[in-house]
Amino acid sequence: MKIVVLLKMVPDVVEELEIAPDGKSLDTTYLRMILNDSDNHALEEALLLKERHGGKVCLLAPDAPEVDDALFAALAKGADRAVKIAGIDAAEGTRAVVARIVQALSTADLLPADLILTGAQAIDDLDGLVAPLLAQTLRWSHLSVVNQVRFDASTGVTTVTKEFPGGLRAEFEIKLPAVLGIQSAEKPPRYVPVAKVRAAMKSLQIDSTTVPIAAGMPALEIQSMAKPSAAGHAEMLEGLPEAVAGKLCDVLAAHGLL
């Protein structure tokens, strides 16, 4: 089974986020970039499929700060090849980004493939179009919010489980090739020791490919960005833990909860 996993670096939202002086973007000065959470799950699902059915897992990611660390970590976990796409600029808009990804898939020799796995959503997106547009461009099928991919080698049938509301799930049979948005892998993403990542850095390499700009496709225009206005905001309780605990008890008692 040949699987391509799309990876994207996004700001770590546990850190403080500041708006840049232009009022339309994030201030990148102190941003810590990490792999988008659901992309990590997409990678895990791909590695699980490879372990069960053999094949290759190739990673494709736009060049970005700290992306090498993420790609080497993924190689150390068992991915076979990593390719960076130089020069992708998200400000070009998703259609242009997808056009570049499609070109990179061919210039880097990643097609044909059976599956392209992406994260179900990148936390910095405006339109969530990457996976669906990619599927439509390639004329492959598409499902998202997926949390299990099963391949039955004896029948050649692939089934995909998608989350529905309230804990309900739906199982679909899907013909490959397909682009799937992975929400969660079947197992928590594996841990890889730093020593193994270092070893991968020494012995393995990351390929790079350049693709021309896809012109003429307008992006959504951001007028402004802001931290949400505190329409509703909690009453904050301050003090040492014991003092705060005391105040909380008063609140609970006032609500008849003690």
Ligand X SMILES: Nc1ncnc2c1ncn2[C@@H]1O[C@H](COP(=O)(O)O)[C@@H](O)[C@H]1O
Select 17 or 214, whichever has its Cβ closest to ligand FAD.
17
Plot region of 87 (φ>0 → left; ψ -120 to 50 → alpha; else → beta): left
By CB under 6 A, residue 121 contacts ligand FAD: yes
Please pick, from the candidates 4, 70, 88, 120, the single residue that binds ligand FAD as defined by CB under 6 A: 120
Select 85 or 185, whichever has its Cβ closest to ligand FAD.
185
By CB under 6 A, residue 184 contacts ligand X: no
Q: How far apart are CA 10 and CA 8, in angstroms?
A: 6
Give the residue carrying structure tokens 């951001």: 222
Select 119 or 189, whichever has its Cβ closest to ligand X.
119
Identify the CA nearest to 189 among candidates 152, 150, 147, 151: 147
Q: How far apart are CA 220 and CA 235, in angstroms?
A: 37
Q: Is 134 helix (H, G, I), strand (E, B) or coil?
A: helix
By CB under 8 A, residue 180 contacts other proteins: no
Question: Are residues 217 and 96 in contact, defined by beta-carbon separation less than 8 angstroms?
Answer: yes
Select from ligand X, ligand FAD, other proteins, none the partner in contact with residue 118, using the beta carbon and a kind-dependent cut-off of 5 to 8 Å. Answer: ligand X
Give the per-residue contact string, 216-255, with other proteins (x = CB under 8 A; - = no): ----xxxxxxxxxxxxxxxxxxx--xx-xxx-xx-xxx-x
Select 129 or 199, whichever has its Cβ closest to other proteins.
129
Give the residue carrying structure tokens 């020791």: 193
By CB under 6 A, residue 206 contacts ligand FAD: no
Per CB under 6 A, contacts with ligand X among 42-101 are 42, 61-62, 88, 97, 101
By CB under 6 A, residue 118 contacts ligand X: yes
Select 1 or 117, whichever has its Cβ closest to ligand X.
117
For the chain, what is the radius of gyration of the CA atoms?
21
**Rounded-to-10 torsion of CA 68, 69, 70, 72:** 80
In angstroms, how far is CA 89 from the centroid of its own chain?
17
By CB under 6 A, residue 145 contacts ligand FAD: yes
By CB under 6 A, residue 148 contacts ligand X: no
Q: How far apart are CA 74 and CA 192, in angstroms?
A: 9
Question: Are residues 174 and 143 in contact, defined by beta-carbon separation less than 8 angstroms?
Answer: yes
Q: How far apart are CA 89 and CA 219, in angstroms?
A: 11
By CB under 6 A, residue 8 contacts ligand X: yes
CB nearest ligand FAD: which residue? 121
Residues that bind ligand FAD (CB under 6 A): 14, 120-121, 145, 183
Residues that bind ligand X (CB under 6 A): 6, 8, 36, 38-39, 42, 61-62, 88, 97, 101, 118-119, 121-122, 125, 128-131
